[in-house]
Every structure is written in C-alpha cells, then in structure tokens.
Amino acid sequence: MTSLPFTPDDEAIRYLVETLTESGQAVSIFDADDNLRYANKTYQGMFLGNYNGPFTFTGIVRHAHRNGLGVRIDDDDVEAFLARTLPRRRSVPRKSFETDLVDGRWFWIDHTVLPNGWVLSVGADITNLKNNEKSLRQAHEAALKASQTDQLTGLPNRRHILGLLDEALAASEATGTGLCVAVIDIDHFKAINDAHGHEAGDAVLEHFAQFCRARVRAQDRLGRTGGEEFLLLLPEVRLDDAVRIIDRIRDGFPAAVLSHSGLELPCTFSAGATEALPDDDRSSILRRADRALYAAKEEGRNRTRISSEATR
C-alpha cells in the first residue's frame, strides 16, 4: 500500500480542528463506549446547548429531547427511539441517511464506524434542498388535482370519475359488498341557459354539485361527466338504498340563487340508477344507468328510475 507523502504535524492538526469547528457541517466523534470525544460548533448547537454531561450518546439524546433540541422523534418517546437506534449504530461500517431536526432543519448524515469501534458522523444541511423538494411535490400534487378536477364545480372530472368507477367495480367484484351507480341530469338545463344566460347555467351546476355533495355519504363519489350530467358512485349499498339516497337529495333540493341579482332558479334533476352485476365493466353498467335515465325523462323528469336488466 502506498503511504501518504506527508504526516500531518501539530499545526496541520490544529488548523483541521479549527476548520471542522467552524464548518457548517455537523461533525461528531464517539469512542467505542459511545462517549462523545469531539463535537464541532454546529453539532453542539444541534444537540448540546448548555449541556454539562454526561457526554454519552444516550445522555445527549435524552438531554436534547428534554430541551427541544436534536432530531424530531415522531412518537415523542425518547426511550423507544433509543431502543430502535442503539442496535443499529454499529451494525454496518458505513451508512447515509437523512433526518429532520426539532427546529425544522434537515441534515444528510454520513455515519462511519472506524475499525477501533469509534463512530464518526458528518451531517450536511439539506434544508433548502428539502424545501425545494417539498415545493416540487406540492406543485405536482396541485397539477395532478387540477387534471382530475372539473374547474366549475370542483368535482372529479369525467376522466377521474370514470377511473374511480373502474376501481369501485373491481372492489365490488373482489369483496362482494355491492355497488350502485346513478347517472344524473339537470332537467331543462338548456332552457335555463337560453332564458338567463350561461352564468345562470353555471350557477345551477355549482349549486347542484355543492348541495348533492353535502347530502351523500362520505364514501360516495360524485363527478361531472360533461354538460349538465353527473355520475354518482354509491359503494356498499343495494339498489333500493341507492334510490333512497338519490330521492333524499331530490326531496330537499332548493332553488339556485344568482348572486348578482338574487334571482331564484327552481331546478330539478332526473336520475337513472343501477346495481353492479357480476362481470360488469364500465360500459355495461353505464349503459343500464343511461337507459334508466332515459326512462325517467320519458316519464316526465324529476324522478329516479332503475334498471336491473343485464346489458352488454
């Protein structure tokens, strides 16, 4: 093995220690018995504060926890944290991980176990990186939500509600807990638009979405499939109960009110409901619901009709 062309002298070691002390990285060295033998300024600020010892790993962790310092412990149980951590401290020669502190900062830790059992830890502040990562994740989540949401009503849009229908059909098939769907259409919607303008039509759609969403169960999903048409997913119910849920919405359905004029716009809706059958897919169940909706309109609107006949 090639030896180094020099041996650090006292001056070099002194400057090295001064550099480590002033470094923004958090540097610590524990001996084989887990006594702290060196800590630079950053590490001291993170874990020690005005601590006077004993400077063991467990003592430092307990002190930091009592005084709002150190790493964030999710369950706030410092003894459980130590029980998880101690067996892993020397389990591998080297490991790297990220950890967040009580004060909100994040550090990337390089943890090295030396051949003599001493432990060297060097932590780099990655708070800005984590904040950027969080911003990117939030932006992604916002973009994903926007792509799945109808802008006017705030409900799932056509693509999203149909995807939820596929998932609900698969869950119903797997568990046998049942699923009903209803296709809902606002009655005489074109006449509302023609008589009062598209702003009135939009107000009716928003009004229906808000009222209906408040009246269905937490596990039910309502989406706008286009125009004045909506799709309601009712998991874990049979057809009679589904009809009761829909009619409960209808029985208390108030008029929409235009915010700028106070004009009341009485409106009703028709619904076609059906229950998932074995081996149903999206097309077959929607076909039955559409047929039931057509029957409700043919019979005079403002009513719910059902279809239980299997159609493929």
pLDDT above 90 coverage of the chain, percent: 70
Length of the chain counted residue by residue: 312
Asked if 185 contacts 228 with a C-beta cutoff of 8 angstroms, the reply is yes
Looking at residues 169-174, what average pLDDT do you find? 93
Query: Is the preceding omega at residue 254 within 30 degrees of 0, hence cis?
Result: no
60 token code pair: 């430092």
Task: Please give the Cα distance from 202 to 258 (Å, whole number).
Answer: 10
Q: What residue spans in the chain does CATH classification 3.30.70.270 cover?
A: 149-307
> Angle at the Cα of 201 (from 198 to 206), degrees rounded to 5?
125
Domain 149-307 has CATH 3.90.1640.30: no
Statement: residue 157 has pLDDT above 60: yes
Average pLDDT along the chain: 90
Confidence bin at 20 (pLDDT 50/70/90):
low
Confidence bin at 15 (pLDDT 50/70/90):
low
pLDDT tens digits for 51-106? 988 999 999 999 999 999 999 998 999 999 999 999 999 999 999 999 999 999 99
Task: Please give the Cα distance from 152 to 23 (Å, whole number).
Answer: 54
In angstroms, what CA-CA distances link 51 with 39, 58, 138, 289?
A: 13, 13, 39, 71
Q: Which pLDDT does position 119 carry in this prediction?
A: 95
166 token code pair: 């596929």
Give Rg (Cα) of the chain: 32
Show the beta-strand stretches assigned E in the chain.
Answer: 26-30, 36-39, 94-100, 106-113, 119-125, 179-186, 221-226, 229-235, 256-257, 264-265, 269-275, 304-307
Q: What is the fold, at CATH topology level, of the domain defined by 10-130? A: Beta-Lactamase (3.30.450)
pTM of the model: 0.62
Confidence bin at 279 (pLDDT 50/70/90):
confident
Q: Which of 141, 228, 236, 275 is catalytic?
A: 228
Burial grade of 122 (CB within 10 A; 0-12, 13-18, 19 or more): buried
**275 is annotated as an active-site residue:** no
DSSP string, 51-101: --S--BHHHHHHHHHHTT-SB--TT--HHHHHHHHGGGTTSSSEEEEEEEB
Q: What residue spans in the chain does CATH classification 3.30.450.20 cover?
A: 10-130
Confidence bin at 154 (pLDDT 50/70/90):
very high
> 99, 108, 98, 107: which is closest to 74 by C-alpha?
99
* Other CB atoms within 10 Å distance of the CB of residue 193: 16
Asked if 126 contacts 106 with a C-beta cutoff of 8 angstroms, the reply is yes
Confidence bin at 147 (pLDDT 50/70/90):
very high
Look up residue 156 and give its DSSP letter.
Answer: B
Looking at residues 8-16, what average pLDDT do you find? 64
Confidence bin at 1 (pLDDT 50/70/90):
very low
